[in-house]
Amino acid sequence: MVEQINMWPFGPLFTAPASLVQPILPDWSLQRVEVNYAGDIAIEKEVVAKVASYGRQIGILTDAVLALSDKVQEDGKPFGQLREIAKEVAKIKDERRGDLASSARRAMQSLANVDRRAAERIARNFTQSSSGT
């Protein structure tokens, strides 16, 4: 059986066996990545939605372990590896924050080019709502 790969405008030219065509991360969306290796999926979903994401939980554990490692005389390989991972995660977060700020700036500039009053209103509303926090 042959299934057509839709790669417009070249889709009709390429075909592959159906067994080679499969989704990558089929349950993935921009809002969540579902991981369930054990336990009750309903509980896991509620914890992630209401308490803390998996990344937040791991971040807290990483901070706790590294704080404890500073009090231990031994600085073994696992602590060093965890420190390196934590540095890389922090680097990625910093890069993403910069990307997000740039994206917000571009979006506001685009809005201002089309509707200056709307951009000013949004900026004013955001400034007022964030000044109280």
Length reported for the chain: 133
Indicate whether 31 pLDDT > 70. no
Same domain, 69 and 37: yes
DSSP string for 44-74: HHHHHHHT--HHHHHHHHHHHHHHHHHHSS-
Does any domain span residue 116? yes
Q: What average pLDDT score do residues 103-113 get?
A: 91
Name the pTM for this structure.
Answer: 0.49
Q: What angle do CA 102, 104, 108 make, to 5 degrees?
A: 120
Residue-range definition of the domain harbouring residue 69? 33-73
Q: Which two tokens stand for residue 75?
A: 């600085």
Does any domain span residue 120? yes
Q: How many domains does the chain have?
A: 2
Dist CA 66 CA 86 (whole Å): 9
Does any domain span residue 5? no
For residue 128, the model assigns a pLDDT of 84
> For 98-102, 103-107, 128-132, which range has the lowest pLDDT when averaged over its residues?
128-132
Q: What average pLDDT score do residues 94-98 get?
A: 84
For residue 1, the model assigns a pLDDT of 45
Does any domain span residue 62? yes
For residue 71, the model assigns a pLDDT of 77
Does any domain span residue 103? yes
Dist CA 122 CA 115 (whole Å): 11
Dist CA 108 CA 81 (whole Å): 41
Does any domain span residue 91? yes
Does any domain span residue 9? no
Does any domain span residue 60? yes
